[in-house]
Structure 1
Amino acid sequence: MKFVAFERNTQGTGASRRLRNSGRTPAIVFGGEQQPIAIELDHNALWHAVQKETFHASVLDMDLGGTVHKVLLRDVQYHPFKPLVLHVDFQRVDDKTRLHKKVPLHFINADTSPAVKIDKCTVNHVLTEVEIECLAIQLPEFIEVDLGQAVKGQAFHANDLKLPAGVKLVTHGKPNPTLATVIEPVEEVIIAPVVSAAGDKKGKKAKK
């Protein structure tokens, strides 16, 4: 995924406010052997980009002054209630850069599994993303969790993941965390009214 950035000559709170009022978003690029560079982006293009999962979980091509840099989105600051991106951080990466990064989980084939199709169970997604460690060139956009063979009462854990080559799961000491569980349907129990000898359905004596 490619985007265009422009060098930013002015910094500070006032300058950033004026920049946002003009339809631009302040940002910074750091990492690698170069010094951090202040940049700016077209806000409308950026807003559409941050809605895409790929923009958050893949190595991006940033065109800055005609030179393409490999970068990774590291942080996005949003306005509390307006559809507005306030600031963005990017990290320079190359083939030797080793990353710690959260990537989304894609749960697939649940609808065709015996648990859902036959037993009418539902799948509870306990986690929607996991943290991994890998080289930048090995970073996956997402990791699939195949639920095609899920059965009633089953739980899927981190050890069940099929990770791409060179990708290591980071669990921060948690042994084999749960990713999803299969929940059995709840049977609806209808309680019949209690009928007394006098014919009162509430179980009370009938009034004369």
Structure 2
Amino acid sequence: MSEHTLKATGRKVEGKGASRRLRHAASIPAIVYGGKSEPKAIQLDHEKIWLAQQNEWFYSSILNLDIDGTTEAVLLRDIQRHPFKQIIMHLDFQRVDLNAALKASVPLHFIGQEGSPAGKSADVVITHELNEVTVSCLPRDLPEFIEIDLSNLKVGDIVHLSDVKLPKGVELPELKLGKEHDVAVVIAKHGRVEAEETAEAPSAEVPATKAAKKDEK
């Protein structure tokens, strides 16, 4: 598990007005909650967080949140962005018990696809059905990403959730819910098959269209 530290300071004044003033001062209002401590209002430097949030680890790693010299282990649970400006409006962090298992979303990295038998075939379509998975593990075992090797992928192959090779100490809770939850992660099939399936799919009529046709009779 890589170490990533974010610096923050506590804030006593809360509310929309206080948050607006913070943003004008290039700071981000945030909250830390969970564990045995009370929720704590904090603020972080916008420029530093803007750079950090461009990395995958910001979303899937245990973060060391340094609040006025006291460090807490946290996970990012929510990030609110401005609808069109490059501004982060608010962050939610959840405290982590380093001795208790947690659930978190981890991105998938696909490697070897272009050199695989399926990847070399011009008429084969390879689809990634999932780009991330929810894992369960101790914080020290939380991976920043999970790698899926597709170098042997052939036409007609389906990589299921149960085929994903997991790091030591990491589980997929979804697989404990039954075989129907062992969903496809990657599918390789001929492009013409996909085209035929699309063409054969029945066109759904919206109720308004049906009513209109009924009125015409």
TM over 0.5: yes
- Per-residue Cα deviation, 1:25-71 (whole angstroms, up to 9, x for no partner): 10011122221110000111111111110110011111111222211
The alpha-carbon deviation at position 91 of structure 1 amounts to: 1.2
1:179 partnered with 2:215: no
Q: TM-score, normalised by structure 2?
A: 0.81
The code of the aligned residue for 2:27 comes to R
Q: CA RMSD in A?
A: 1.7
What's 1:85 paired with? 88
Aligned equivalents of 1:140, 1:178: Cα separation in 2: 21
What's 2:155 paired with? 152
Identity %: 44
Q: Which deviates the most, 28-37 or 101-110?
A: 28-37
What's 1:167 paired with? 170
Aligned equivalents of 1:147, 1:178: Cα separation in 2: 14
The alpha-carbon deviation at position 109 of structure 1 amounts to: 0.7
What's 1:96 paired with? 99
- Per-residue Cα deviation, 1:113-152 (whole angstroms, up to 9, x for no partner): 1111256634211110111111111111111111011001
1:63 partnered with 2:69: no
Q: Which deviates the most, 64-73 or 83-92?
A: 64-73
Q: TM-score, normalised by structure 1?
A: 0.84
SS at match of 1:72: strand
1:105 partnered with 2:111: no
Query: Which structure has greater helix proportion?
Result: 2
Q: Which runs of 4+ in 1 moved over 2 A?
A: 117-122, 170-175, 183-187
1:114 partnered with 2:120: no
The code of the aligned residue for 1:179 comes to V
Aligned equivalents of 2:98, 2:43: Cα separation in 1: 26
Please point out which of 11, 15, 18 is paired with 1:15: 18
Q: How many residues align?
A: 187
SS at match of 1:32: coil
Please point out which of 137, 141, 148 is paired with 1:134: 137
Aligned equivalents of 1:38, 1:181: Cα separation in 2: 45
SS at match of 1:111: coil
Residues 31 and 93, structure 2, Cα contact 8 Å, conserved in 1: yes
Residues 123 and 192, structure 2, Cα contact 8 Å, conserved in 1: no
Please point out which of 77, 85, 94 is paired with 1:74: 77
Q: Which deviates the most, 113-122 or 138-147?
A: 113-122
- Stretches of structure 1 lacking an aligned partner (at least 5 in a row): 188-208
Aligned equivalents of 1:55, 1:177: Cα separation in 2: 27
- Stretches of structure 2 lacking an aligned partner (at least 5 in a row): 194-217
The alpha-carbon deviation at position 8 of structure 1 amounts to: 0.9
SS at match of 1:94: coil
